[in-house]
Amino acid sequence: MTATELVYPVLLIGSFIMTLIMIPRDQYREYLMYGFVLGGLGDVAVVTILQNILGIIWFKNQGLFYVLGHNALSPLCWTLVIMLFLYFLPRRRFFLICYHLAWGLMSLGFGYLVQNAQLFDFRDWFYPIPALILFISWFTVCSWVYTKTSSLAKKLQ
């Protein structure tokens, strides 16, 4: 296994450790549920549409993480990332808009990182603007679903 193939395992382990440290034990299950549905399953849906149907993005050089054309660690990473995203979700509208933009930019940056590691590629026109819009939209939907349905979010209001 080369060093570039370790990008996803390092993100996965780092994100997992951060969730264990940051998210209180009594709230972990609910954040895990939202992370799995909105992050993990969301990743599978987005990758299936953008890669398998439209051919806009594609994973490459996946090694042992190759599963049905997808990177097996990507949904797990998105699960943990969405857990952290939702845990630190601000309540005030201005900060929420800045928060969505910041997470969208970080996701865009990670996309470039995995492209530079030759684990991921995309059509030239897709990055940066359409991808940034997609990421910001994804985070916006996640925070909207969470605030409308979560018992933890309703306690904070």
Instruction: For 64-107, write each residue's pLDDT tens digit.
Output: 888 888 899 999 999 999 999 999 999 999 999 999 999 999 99
86 within 8 A of 146, measured Cβ to Cβ: yes
Q: Are 111 and 58 in contact (CB under 8 A)?
A: no
**pLDDT on residue 13:** 97
Residue 47 — φ and ψ, nearest 5°?
-65, -40
pLDDT digits (tens, 9 = 90+) for 98-136: 999 999 999 999 999 999 999 999 999 999 999 999 999
Angle at 101 between CA 120 and CA 62, to 5 degrees: 15
pTM of the predicted structure, to 2 decimals: 0.94
Q: Which residues contact 64 (CB under 8 A, 6 or more apart)?
A: 1
Q: How much helix, strand and coil, in percent to the nearest 5, is found in the chain?
A: 75, 5, 20
Biggest CA–CA distance in the chain, Å, is 47
pLDDT bracket for residue 11 (50, 70, 90): very high
Specify whether the backbone of 12 is left (phi greater than 0), alpha (psi in -120 to 50) or beta: alpha
